[in-house]
Amino acid sequence: MFHRSRGLPGPHLEGVPVHSHHNGLKTAALLGLLSALILALGYAFGGSGGLIFAVFLSLALNAGTYFFSDKLALRSMRAQPVSEAEFPALYQMVRELSSSAGQPMPKLYVSPTMQPNAFATGRNPQHAAVAVTQGITQILDQRELRAVIGHELSHVYNRDILISSVAGALAGIITSLAHLAIFLPLGGGDDDDRNPAAFLAMLILGPLAAMIIQMAISRSREYQADADGAKLSGDPLALASALEKISYGAQRMPLPAQGQLTSSAHLMIANPFRAGGISSLFSTHPPMEQRIARLREQAGAIQYRR
């Protein structure tokens, strides 16, 4: 169990996060696919004016989300700022990991939610916040919580909030185009011989494809934060153990999938909603079993190098 006043263990740091070129290329390719979908839908719907309107509308909405995502996410979890006097051990581990990464220390928040979870938000390391729930401080030991903090800090250092915002903006443009197409004539472009079935298919499948690509980007960044966070904390097995406990606790105490919480769920280290059914197919979180398996492989590789 995590106690506020207890000192911290000091496992050897394996190093600070190193970004994966493979992961970066994968993210770039997925963002490229979203951009291609925008061009395809814009041509299919034939409304250049509508295309411009959708682009500006989605960019404006997502710019607002980008700059105020921290406040929205913190409010959705009722997280409150905490002082070092209240949580000295938490401050100590965050300060240590931030210093190891050569980055500024984020603001710290605690949510009264009893579900074990954590998330980071903020558009860059200079405007970042890390929040943990009351529940996570009660089920994790300090070694595990330190590894979770490393994961969340890696999201900030990898600029995942920016990447998610860009992906959200592009997906939003596609969805807006599909909505606008309902009010556009079928022959809105230069080609009046358009196939109605193909038009209808793009109207339905375009937003679906955008959602799937956006989900793939989120999953890709989650795997990367696991690897980089384990590297920052120097303890992949601690993160694997923490994920097992968090997953079990989150499923025992799922949060309601409603309101602003649904827009902030992708930021959390584990899916806060009840798993199972078709909703699990569209989760932005990778399967927990695969995340844990990768972390154990990472720990094995470290031991092998030693």
Q: Which of 93, 117, 118, 120 is nearest to 107 (CA)?
A: 120
- Could you identify the residue written with the tokens 């937003």? 207
- Could you identify the residue written with the tokens 């904390």? 233
What's the CA dihedral at 152, 276, 204, 258 to 10 degrees?
-60
Predicted confidence (pLDDT) per residue in 82-112, tens digit: 999 999 999 999 999 999 999 999 999 999 9
- Could you identify the residue written with the tokens 């490393």? 150
- Give dist(CA 71, CA 138) in Å, integer: 25
- Answer with the residue of higher pLDDT: 124 or 69: 124
At 10 the three-state DSSP class reads: coil
What lies within 8 Å, CB to CB, of 157 at 6+ separation is 17, 101, 103, 125, 228
Domain presence at residue 10:
no
144 is catalytic: no
Full-model pTM: 0.76
**Residue 146 sits in which domain range?**
27-183+196-305
User: What's the mean pLDDT in 207-226?
Assistant: 78
User: What's the mean pLDDT in 294-306?
Assistant: 87
Q: What is the DSSP letter of 274?
A: P
Domain presence at residue 1:
no
- One-letter amino acid of 85: A
Q: Which segments of 46-192 does DSSP mark as H helices, in order?
A: 48-76, 88-101, 134-139, 142-157, 160-181
Domain presence at residue 300:
yes
Contact 171, 210 (CB under 8 A): yes
200's enclosing H/E stretch is helix 196-233
The pLDDT confidence band at residue 142, using thresholds 50, 70 and 90, is very high
Point out the catalytic residue in the list 14, 96, 152, 222: 152
Domain presence at residue 68:
yes
Contact 111, 129 (CB under 8 A): no
Predicted confidence (pLDDT) per residue in 61-73, tens digit: 666 766 777 888 8
Domain presence at residue 2:
no
Split into its structural domains, the chain has a count of 1
Predicted confidence (pLDDT) per residue in 261-286, tens digit: 877 788 899 999 987 654 555 577 89
Contact 171, 251 (CB under 8 A): no
> Interior CA angle at 157 toward 279 and 59, to 5°?
60
- Give dist(CA 49, CA 264) in Å, integer: 32
Domain presence at residue 189:
no
- One-letter amino acid of 156: V
Strand partners, 194: none
Domain presence at residue 22:
no
Domain presence at residue 48:
yes
